[in-house]
Amino acid sequence: FAVEQDLRRGLAAQELRLYLQPQVNRQGHMVSAEALVRWQHPDKGLVPPGTFIGVAEESDLITEVGDWVLAQVCAHLGQLHTQGRRLPIAVNVSPRQFHKADFVPGVLHALEQAGAQPEDLVLEITEGVVIEQVDTVVRKMSQLTQRGVRFSIDDFGTGYSSLAYLKRLPIHELKIDKSFVQDAPHDPSDAALVEAILSVAGHLRLKVVAEGVETQEQADFLNQRANVIHQGYLFGRPAPAAEVLATWSGTR
Ligand code: G
Ligand code: G
Ligand code: MN
Ligand code: NA
């Protein structure tokens, strides 16, 4: 319970920080970004989410973290919109957060409150969200996509779900997990998996974001096979949101 209590305190003390990681097109221009939360801890320094998102997910704290991230992202989207600039931002949604009864109205409220365009918000869900209650999941997703919000499947290929669910869900994007991306140029199995994902995405007309692109060789491997958006250290590490947005020219 120590981390949980400390996180509760940290939330109240406004210690969470919004980081963004660029998502770039073939030409290397940032066309969107992923929001990644960090915790600026008074003793431990900058804490990555891997160590506290899991803890938050086990309690209701994930709702508070999720609401905070969503509000921050919507505030940036609203501000960009008033400046006539547009940069879609992807937000990670945990299973517990998605399955809350008021998830849909909560997202719509956050957008309205900030004057953000629903088309600029991408919600990343994992296959874990979809395993249970598929009808409910489809209904909730549709309520948001009807308003313009878009959905992406994160860590695609690492979960347990079947390909059949892809046809039922109103999604617009797949994110290839970094474990496949990183080994694809040298490991024939990973290369085959990446190619299979690109093929499925092509046939279903889904956008593809490749995660964890660290080398030019990995980027080339992908570019030779499809029109893929890249996210990885080769193009930009996660950095404070204000910094990423300030250095972005906004033209593409
Ligand atoms: O940024 P980093 O590489 O350390 O992220 C580690 C994990 O934390 C990733 O799986 C990412 O999806 C998750 N994560 C980062 N930010 C958020 C967030 O705002 N909400 C949720 N639910 N998960 C997040
Ligand atoms: O939400 P998701 O699990 O997709 O989070 C993406 C994670 O991948 C974050 O923890 C982010 O910091 C990390 N990441 C982003 N780019 C790279 C990369 O090029 N290499 C590695 N190893 N990790 C990355
Ligand atoms: Mn993600
Ligand atoms: Na991922």
231 alpha carbon – ligand 1 mean position (Å) = 14
**Hey, CA dihedral for 236, 242, 243, 244, is it positive or negative?**
positive
* pLDDT band of 175, cuts 50, 70, 90: very high
For 75, 130, 132, 164, 168, the CA distances from 136, given in Å and listed in that order, are 29, 9, 9, 16, 12
Question: What is residue 250's predicted lDDT score, i.e. its pLDDT?
Answer: 76
Mean pLDDT of the chain: 95
Question: What is residue 251's predicted lDDT score, i.e. its pLDDT?
Answer: 54
| Nearest partner of 68 among 39, 27, 46, judged by Cα | 39
Nearest alpha carbon, ligand 1 atom 10: 50
* pLDDT band of 80, cuts 50, 70, 90: very high
What ipTM was reported for this prediction?
Answer: 0.96
135 alpha carbon – ligand 2 mean position (Å) = 30
Does the beta carbon of 48 sit less than 6 angstroms from any atom of ligand 1? yes
Does the beta carbon of 238 sit less than 6 angstroms from any atom of ligand 2? yes
Q: Which atom of ligand 2 is nearest to the CA of 50?
A: 10
> What CATH number matches the domain at 2-244, 3.20.20.450, 1.10.10.10, 3.30.460.20, 3.10.20.30?
3.20.20.450
CA end-to-end span of the chain: 47
**Hey, CA dihedral for 39, 44, 50, 55, is it positive or negative?**
negative
Question: What is residue 89's predicted lDDT score, i.e. its pLDDT?
Answer: 98
Report the pLDDT averaged over residues 68-97. Answer: 97
Ligand nearest to the CA of 124: 3
Higher model confidence: residue 88 or residue 129? Answer: 88
Pocket test for ligand 2, best of 178, 218, 233 (most atoms within 8 A of CB): 178
Question: What is residue 223's predicted lDDT score, i.e. its pLDDT?
Answer: 97
Does the beta carbon of 92 sit less than 6 angstroms from any atom of ligand 1? yes
148 alpha carbon – ligand 1 mean position (Å) = 24
Report the pLDDT averaged over residues 171-191. Answer: 96
Residue 157 has pLDDT above 90, yes or no: no
